[in-house]
Amino acid sequence: MKNRAHNNRIKSPAKTRGLGPRYRSAVYEERYVSKLWKINMNLKLSLILLPLILTSACSSPYKRSMPENYTGPSAYILDTIQMDGESKGDFFYLSEIDGQMVKNARSETYKYTQGKGMTMYPVEYSRQVPALQNNFKIVGRTGYAAPILTLTGTVYEVEGIIKFTPAADKTYQIKGLLSESSSSVWIEDMETKEIISNKIQVKGSSELGFFSK
């Protein structure tokens, strides 16, 4: 019984040299079929995962600032940038509308500046928004042209939510101030300079830690 069980095991090529050609052929054929099966399974798995990978790569985290099919009155909100040299700037921008991320001056500047060395190319950005009451998340943050500058430089950040109803056909801008002693960000009427609601303010330093940059 032990010898029979031993003989039923698939032998390595070295152990099959003394056996007949028909037996060796069966062993090699079984291994060939097994290898083809593995290749086929890997190919099927790749075909299944490919659409998911492509969808993930092509999808954007940013949503439209105007609801789809909305035809009502609207307004405009502009981001602002205060450059400090060629590699650094303070960004004051709209980051979310009712919890949905939207494109902004910081995201577009980073996208345009990427791969261009230590020089920042600021992109002015504005978007149309519905003249409806919404929660607008606004941010003031220091930005740099390259990741290494961000890691080694000082980054201030202040953010908060302003709930208001933009007036139809009005233009607003996001303004702010970032410093070691105080940082603030707000929305103001571009024509009258009136501040909408209150300033979002941090008294004292709003510098981010290394792992928060």
pLDDT at 41 over 80: no
Average pLDDT for 133-149: 97
112 and 196: one domain?
A: yes
Q: What secondary structure does DSSP assign to 30-71, as a single string?
A: HHHHHHHHHHHHHHHHHHHHHHHHHHHHH--S---SS-TT--
**Interval 184-201: pLDDT, tens:** 999 999 999 999 989 999
Q: Which domain holds residue 147?
A: 74-212
8 located within any domain: yes
Nearest CA to 107 among 118, 97, 122? Answer: 122
Cβ atoms within 10 Å of 139's Cβ, excluding its own = 21
68 located within any domain: no
Q: Tell me which of 8-17, 73-82, 181-190, 203-212 is least confident.
A: 8-17
174 and 143: one domain?
A: yes
33 located within any domain: yes
145 and 172: one domain?
A: yes
The total number of structural domains in the chain stands at 2
Rounded CA-CA distance 173/170 in Å is 10
113 and 207: one domain?
A: yes
Q: pLDDT value at position 56?
A: 47
144 and 191: one domain?
A: yes
Q: Which residue has the higher pLDDT, 56 or 138?
A: 138
**Interval 77-91: pLDDT, tens:** 999 999 999 999 999
Rounded CA-CA distance 160/137 in Å is 6
Run of H or E residues at 28: helix 21-58
Average pLDDT for 117-127: 96
pLDDT at 10 over 50: no
186 and 95: one domain?
A: yes
Q: What are phi and psi of 95, to 5 degrees?
A: -105, -30
pLDDT at 135 over 60: yes
188 located within any domain: yes
**Which of 11, 34, 58 is the last residue before a domain boundary?**
58
Rounded CA-CA distance 186/52 in Å is 40
66 located within any domain: no
100 and 187: one domain?
A: yes
53 and 79: one domain?
A: no
Q: pLDDT value at position 11?
A: 44
Q: What is the model's pTM?
A: 0.73
Q: What are phi and psi of 100, to 5 degrees?
A: -100, 125
93 and 28: one domain?
A: no
